[in-house]
Chain A
Amino acid sequence: MVKLYALTILYKGPTSATALKSAYDIDSFSYFQRNSVKEFMAFVSKTITERTQIAARQSVKEGEYMCHVYVRGDSLAGVLISDHEYPNRVSHTLITKVLDEFSAKYTVHMWPTLKEGTTDFQQVNLYLAKYQNPSEADALTKIQEDLDETKIILHSTLEAVLQRGEKLDDLVQKSEGLSIQSKAFYKTARKTNSCCSLTA
């Protein structure tokens, strides 16, 4: 399936990353899972941003999902969670574009103090909807190909992105952003080996 699930803009501070704005498209998950899916995607976005160096791009495959991250030189970061069939090139173009527009609206010194609830940046929702069809957005990506000199680092699992000695299970257990319900979901998904997210 060619699908985008979540687009998040984050600020990578010296110790941790904070989400500034996010958009989700998770209607394809069943009703009682949606909340956990959302929490988990937020958790993954934050975790992966914290483990990506400044001015670097990464794409991580986890089961049937892809997680793309780009941290700019000025510590503004974007994370896009998509299905693994969604073209990587388009994903990274989308992140670049959204971050450009965001930094045009909010200046650098505001980022550390912005709160997700009060940030007004509706474009994330619009872009998430528009880019569901990658061929429609593809005209833009052709230009992007020559523009971008940053290499995309590819990883085959989420574990591969973690720092040495870290375990995903421990991070999930320790996380404050995940409810008890979501942690239970994660455990079940792990047991049935259906990767980090939670399809039936």
Chain B
Amino acid sequence: MQEDVFPAAEKILSDVENIFKKDIDLTSFEIIPVEDNQNKSPVLHDNNSLGLASWCIRPLFCYVYNRLFDLRLNQCRREHSTVISKWLLGALLLNPDILTFWNMRRQFIRNGKLDPMEELRFVNIVLYYKAKCFEAFSYRRWILKLLLFKNQDAIHKIELLFRNEIQISSMAANRYSNNCHAWNHRKYIISMFETVCISVFGSLLDKEWEESTSWCNSHVSDYSGYDYRQFLLKRLLLRKRRYDQTKICSNVLEKRRDIIIKFVQNALHDYNNVFLHTNSYENILNLLHGVNFTKYSEVTFEQTLINLSYWVEDCIINTKLLQTFSGHETLWYHRRFLVSSLLALNNSYTNFFLYKIENLNSTVATTNISKSLLEIALKMQNKDLIDVAKRISFIKPYCAR
């Protein structure tokens, strides 16, 4: 085939590979439209950014694609692994949707021919260029799991890895609107956090909530970002003391309580302020949920009040956004979610005096635990998660298998 002959290909690929190796802080890759080749190198590298001139893209991709499939068809012709990984790098950089090529890289990692940490850096750049690439995210998760099982002792290292993943999904979400794969990746990472680094999970959840608030304020029609927010809200509503066993800080408690009080005052102008400020948390909650008395004494009402305050906070934000930005469906869908979760919360409180996962399941808490996550939980012996999986299995027998 004519396209197979592209003498400059190997040189271009080497240049690109070298940039990847040398520039640890490389952040971006893009194709630069150029009319003709002007007899110049198509590889541009400046300010941690990599660019390829558009004229070389087509012949270059045809070259690597044909080489790689030739190789797979006649296994006997052997090539050195460094040459193959160079081809793969070129092919995946230009078109990351080919699963076969990712799988070839997976094989290389397994054989020790590629370093998993360097691979993560490579996928960063791929995701910068094609921010909504499912194969690239799935490859990342595969590497993470590999690293997790390899060195179980270094928890802080794993925590760093996870935080990096959160950054990557932020970047991808900013580069491509309604990027469901990026947000799903983030959800997965949060669940991993919950499974592996329980000690910091509480503070992480708070930080994520704040970040999501500012993101949703400026992306009023990004339904994938809002879906992630709902995921966070579910976690916060069902939060129990187990994440951070220390006593609830009175500052936090007061701050969260004030959110609720302000909300009630805005809704009912003639309401008796003194009642809300002086009453016990138990009475406030009973009043809000329309319950007359409490039977259970071992329930921590402080926690329930904090949980509820997140719902209230989100409701206030949603109202404000609806006023500022008219005609955005996503905002109304989010409000619908808030209403249905309110019904579920109320239902749960009247029965148990706290918010329970089983009770919320039908409307709010579809906390599916994926098979791979459960696998990790078993390996890490995370009792909480296994417990949750068992409880969910009553409702959904297939999901905790």
Contacts from A to B (Cβ < 8 Å)? 1-3, 28, 30-33, 85, 87, 132-135, 138, 180-181, 184-185, 187-188, 200
Contact = CB atoms under 8 A, between A and B. Distances in A.
7 contacts: A2-B218, A31-B47, A87-B325, A133-B218, A135-B324, A184-B34, A200-B129
Contacts of A184: 33-35
A173 to B, nearest CB: 13
A180 B328 CA distance: 39
B25 interface: no
Interface residues of B, number: 29
B29 to A, nearest CB: 8
A32 B217 contact: no
Contacts of A188: 33, 54
B174 A32 contact: no
B220 interface: yes
Given A2-B219, A200-B131, 12 more contacts: A1-B222, A2-B218, A2-B220, A3-B218, A30-B30, A30-B128, A31-B28, A31-B30, A31-B46, A31-B47, A85-B221, A180-B35
Contacts of B350: none
Contact of A135 (B32, B46, B54, B320): B320
B170 interface: no
Nearest to A138: B324
A118 B218 CA distance: 34
B218 A32 contact: no
A135 B217 CA distance: 9
A87 B323 CA distance: 11
List of 9 A-B pairs having minimum Cβ-Cβ separation, nearest first? A31-B49, A188-B33, A184-B33, A2-B218, A32-B51, A30-B30, A135-B324, A32-B32, A30-B28
Interface in B205-261: 217-222
B220 A32 contact: no
B30 A33 contact: yes
